[in-house]
Amino acid sequence: MACIALKRDRGAAILLAMLIAALAAAVAATVFADQERWGRAVVYRRDQVQAQALAMAGLQWARQVVEDDGRRSDIDHLGEPWALALPPIPMEDGEIRGAIADAQGRLNVNTLGLAGDSAPERIRLARLFVRAGASPAAAAVVSDWIDEDVVTREGGAEDAFYLAQPVPRLAANAPLVRVAELTAAKGMTPRAVAALLPFASALPQGTPVNVNTAPPEVLAAIVDDLTPERVEALVADRARKPFTTVAEFRARLPSGAKLGSDAGLAVASSYFLITIDARQGTTHSRARALLRRSGGSRPSIVWQVIE
């Protein structure tokens, strides 16, 4: 009997030892897996911080480029160094690229906050809205969204309309910071606003459009009777020799095209949009900013977003 009991105890001891060994192995595997996950998280966070640092450095590069350009020339056009995209520059386990765009080469939607019904700015923006697929009443809607009064324009909308919606809200009654905000206005669908983005900007009221940098779609909204063939001819002529004055722009319009008003037009710019993309390892960071250049001082940052 004693021998049987001894064998039973030895068997139990062996089982207990095996159980302890299995538990130890499980704990070790769990700790190893946790350490591996922690290690990956540390590496990812490190790369993320480095990518964001690269993007921020890119913004400083853009500020310097815009500042240097302001000292060299009295006009701004697409043949200048700032208008050339920064190609991908390889970094250790990453890269950085960027682009500078003239925000004044686009139509400024904030001019609708002050423009009268017959103002050239309103007529140009109304044309642009229609081409982007927005409602013919879009100019009135945006005007009511931006202006400070509560008077509803024909086809527009003020607080009464917005308060009656399933999700009640008020009209902004203030200038836009970004064009994307228009998706909150009556009838401004995300699709229409997305179509507007390359050709519209949200800048201080009264900011003119630079005819040297305006894309063909904006030129077509500015100039009367500018057919596709005439737009192509105007852009080609501008590439050969940028306009030095608005009067020269008018004088060099293709035959048959007419400029109704010189109001709100310019050949130089103060506002520039910056986009910087940086990659480090598997992480990506994008920096976007609006710069304002004034005189010979370093351009100030109106707003910036780091993603």
Q: Where are the domains of the chain?
A: 1-106+198-307, 109-196
User: For 126-155, what is each residue's pLDDT tens digit?
Assistant: 999 998 888 889 999 999 999 988 889 999
- Give the residue with greater pLDDT, 151 vs 106: 106
The residues, any chain, with a CB within 8 Å of residue 65's CB and separated by 6 or more, are 81, 82, 100
What is the radius of gyration, based on Cα positions, of the chain? 30
Average pLDDT of the segment spanning 120-124: 90
Whole-number Å distance between alpha carbons of 108 and 299? 20
CATH 3.40.50.970 corresponds to the domain 1-106+198-307: no
CA–CA separation, 206 and 115 (whole Å): 9
Q: How confident is the model at residue 100 (pLDDT cuts 50, 70, 90)?
A: very high
> Which pLDDT does position 39 carry in this prediction?
52
Supply the CATH classification number for the domain 109-196: 1.10.40.60
What pLDDT band is residue 22 in, cutting at 50, 70 and 90? low
pLDDT at residue 115 in the model: 64
Give per-residue pLDDT as tens, 217-229.
Answer: 999 999 999 999 9
User: Can you give the pLDDT at residue 26?
Assistant: 59
Helix axes 120-131, 138-146, angle to 10 degrees: 120
Secondary structure (H, E, C), 91-158: ECCEEEEEEEEEHHHCEEHHHHHCCCCCCHHHHHHHHHHHHCCCCCCHHHHHHHHHCCCCCCCCCCCC
When the pLDDT of each residue in the chain is averaged and rounded to a whole number, the result is 87
pLDDT of residue 200 exceeding 60: yes
Whether the domain at 1-106+198-307 and the domain at 109-196 fall into the same CATH topology: no
Quote the pLDDT of residue 68: 93
19 pLDDT tier (thresholds 50, 70, 90): low
Distance CA 269, CA 213 (A): 9
Cα 8 off chain centre by? 77
Q: Give pTM, 2 decimals.
A: 0.82
Residue 40 pLDDT > 60 = no
* pLDDT reading at 210 higher than 80: yes
Distance CA 169, CA 150 (A): 14
pLDDT at 117 over 70: no
HEC sequence for 194-223: HHHCCCEECCCCCCCEECCCCCHHHHHHHC
Q: Is residue 85 a contact partner of residue 97, using CB atoms and an 8 Å limit? A: yes
Which of the 8 DSSP states describes residue 254?
A: P
User: How big is the chain, counted in residues?
Assistant: 307
Strand order in the sheet with 94-102: 86-91, 94-102, 271-280, 283-292, 300-306
CB 213 within 8 A of CB 104: yes
pLDDT category at 43 given cuts 50, 70, 90 is low
Name which of 201-205, 224-228, 239-243 the model is least confident about.
201-205
State the residue for tokens 């897996």.
33
Task: Specify the pairing of strand 94-102 against strand 86-91.
Answer: antiparallel
User: What is the percent of the chain with per-residue pLDDT over 90, rounded to a whole number?
Assistant: 62
Higher pLDDT, 144 or 297: 144
d(CA 147, CA 162): 15
